[in-house]
Amino acid sequence: FILNEIPFFILLGIFSGLVSYYFTWAAMYLEGRFGKVKNSYLRLVFGGAILGLLIFIFPSLFGEGYEALMDILHGEGETIINQSIFKDFIENKYLFLLLLLLILIFKVIAMAATTGSGGVGGIFAPSLFMGGVSGFFVARFINSLTPFKVSESNFSLVGMAGIMAGVMHAPLTAIFLIAEITGGYELLPPLIITATISYLTINYFEPHSIYTKRLAQRGELMTHHKDKAVLSMMKVKKLIETNFNPIHPDATLGDLVKVISSSSRNIIPVVDEDGTFCGLIFMDHIREIIFKPEIYRTTFVRNLMFMPETTVSQQESMEAVAQKFQKTGKFNLVVLKDGKYIGFISRARVFSAYRKLLKDFSDD
């Protein structure tokens, strides 16, 4: 480590922060797109096809990338391109730098294709790989396009700390982990500089780590806000009520009266033969006509039902459900899954479960 290299480590910190932001944004976006593909087999085919194509172009993307990292740290960084179909462009310094950028871009896509399609993958190994390649890119850029010369292996190590600090929002963890990997503290000053600047850079664009965002997306994030923490522990599936008697939209008023006579609830869900939700009937809305037998055969359910403006999905967080109750003022909301009727969730049951959990939460 040389004091004259401090500006370059600052540059590496800024670059690492921007790469970390791309890492977080692209991973969340692509995993979200994969999640919209409902068919798990189709999702697997898409993920496999994307991953296979990327590995064919850049074989160094396969696996954790530890072998590629070791090559970079041993001064043989060209091997990560040498295995690809672009190996003939290694001698061209401009194209070589462009290929390194493409590896950084494609690594995140490959990671998201793996996890999004149902494969097993994590954040730690890809962040190390991205950090090593980022540091190598900055060092090769400096060595190739400026009169200065820097250690590519040192910049790769420091780049690992930069990406880890940015992606995980954990600069201290990144600093000491990479310091332990090196077996000494000669690189501690540049590690501190790069990791800190990387963290500050990504924090300007994205204040939450990818781990926090994933937990929040699944509604499992525990916060210091007690209400939100309790709601995050509640699941829609466990609060669904199914003791509502459904009726077909083509049924007559006479059929509806028979259903009402055996029902203990004042809401009748209208469901077709496929289980698709068609609408609702409130007893209060038909009270005036249920005592007119002369129209029992000529009045149909489809003319009496209405489609509610607000519904609930099984996958929704309880915080979102609570907001819907507050916004609509309703006491019951229908729960659907892909348009199919599942049941209802009631304000009273949610409040009862919330009160019980809050008591347990407070006692702990």
Detail the DSSP E strand segments found in the chain: 267-271, 277-282, 312-313, 332-337, 340-346
Domains contained in the chain, CATH given = 3-217 (1.10.3080.10), 226-363 (3.10.580.10)
pLDDT of residue 264: 84
H or E element, residue 178: helix 171-182
Tell me what pLDDT residue 12 has: 95
Asked whether the predicted pLDDT for residue 278 surpasses 70, the reply is: yes
The stretches of 218-344 forming alpha helices (DSSP H) are 226-232, 253-261, 283-286, 318-328
Q: Which two three-digit tokens encode residue 178?
A: 């990479």
| 8 Å CB contact between 62 and 129 | no
Per-residue pLDDT at 232: 65
Q: What is the pLDDT of residue 224?
A: 46
Containing H/E element for 42?
A: helix 40-57
Question: Whole-angstrom Cα distance, residue 103 to residue 84?
Answer: 11
For residues 270 and 268, give the distance between their C-alpha atoms in angstroms, rounded to a whole number: 6
pLDDT in tens, 156-171: 999 999 999 999 888 9
Cα(166)–Cα(203) distance, integer angstroms: 8
**pLDDT for the residue 218:** 59
Instruction: For the full predicted model, state whether its pTM sits above 0.85.
Output: no
Q: What is the pLDDT of residues 182-216, one digit of tens each?
A: 766 788 899 999 999 999 999 999 888 777 776 66
What's the mean pLDDT when you consider all of the chain?
86
What's the rounded mean pLDDT across residues 79-83?
80
Pairwise pLDDT comparison (318 vs 260), residue with the higher score: 260
